[in-house]
Homo-oligomer: A and B are copies of this chain.
């Protein structure tokens, strides 16, 4: 990044304030929180910025959110904010870094469940029931979209994704060895499918927030079960829709 030349600082009084409200722009965005709560100001400033940024990016997207909005939401001035993060991009990258921890705790449900498919369904339920304080549910699609064209972000994002995919692959192979999954199935194709379903559901959540995905998880899990079950075993159908 080219270092910007130091700016001269002319004392010009300028045009006072251009008070005419100007009817606002076409921007159909939500209102940022009025002002930070009193004890809010005591919390770790980095956390405050991150939480504020997550809220704003979720509401208006990365490019649709201005730093001033993040500042307002965090109850902090730009001068203070820039003390903790060197740039807007650094904030997203920090958010993605946080995702890693959240995803790791999600993955515990995979190994903790009675079976592979049950584990996937449990992950899905945790994601969509809101029981998990999880950034990626709301921000995942936004982050993927941004990652697809921001190389720095993409590198971080890929790291986190690879951890997730590897864990699922290990669980898949183990389940296959246990006879829970048809041994003839191609692992790569199955993983692409599982990833696609996950990403697709996350996106659907954004587009249709009223869709009761958590409630549908048994039915969706049942479908996934049929997809992977060994060929000549009748599907367990413990949760037929």
Q: Give chain A's interface residues, CB within 8 Å of chain B.
A: 2, 20, 26, 28-29, 59-61, 63-64, 87, 89, 141-142, 144-152, 161, 184-186, 188-190, 192-193, 195-201, 203-204, 206-207, 211, 213, 216, 219-220, 222-224, 226-229, 231-232, 234-235, 237, 240-241
Checking B144, B184, B188, B227 against A141 with a beta-carbon cut-off of 8 angstroms, the contacting residue is B144
Q: List 10 A-B contacts (CB under 8 A).
A: A60-B149, A63-B63, A144-B207, A145-B206, A189-B216, A192-B201, A192-B220, A193-B220, A197-B197, A231-B237
Contact A196 B189 (CB under 8 A): no
Known contacts A61-B145, A203-B199, A207-B148; is-contact A189 B223 (Cβ 8 Å): yes
Q: Across the two chains, which residue of chain B brings its CB closest to A59?
A: B149
Q: How far is the CA of A219 from the CA of B192 in the complex (A)?
A: 10
Check if B232 sits within 8 Å of A234, measured CB to CB: yes
For residue A161, which residue of chain B has the nearest CB?
A: B207
Q: Give me the 7 closest cross-chain CB pairs, A-B, nearest first.
A: A196-B200, A200-B200, A63-B63, A186-B241, A189-B219, A199-B200, A227-B227
Contact residues in B for A150 (Cβ distance below 8 Å): 28
Determine how many copies of this chain the complex contains.
2
Would you give the shortest CB distance from A225 to chain B, in whole angstroms? 9
Contact B206 A192 (CB under 8 A): no
Candidates B2, B201, B241; contact of A196 at CB < 8 Å: B201
Contact partners of A199 in chain B: CB under 8 A? 196, 199-200, 203-204
A206→B241 contact, CB < 8 A:
no
State whether B203 touches A203 (Cβ < 8 A): yes
A206 with B144: CB separation less than 8 A: yes
Tell which of B64, B193, B200 touches A223, judged by Cβ atoms closer than 8 Å.
Answer: B193
Q: What is the bound-complex CA distance between A137 and B232, given in angstroms? A: 37
A204-B195, A232-B234 are contacts. A223–B28 as well, Cβ < 8 Å?
no
For A206, the chain B residues whose CB sits under 8 A away are 144-145, 148
Residues in B whose Cβ lies below 8 Å from that of A148: 141, 206-207
**A235 vs B152: C-alpha distance when bound (angstroms):** 44
Which residue, of A144, A185, A226, has the highest number of chain B Cβ atoms within 10 A?
A226
Distance to closest chain B CB from A139 (angstroms): 11
In the complex, A141 Cα to B207 Cα: how many Å?
A: 11
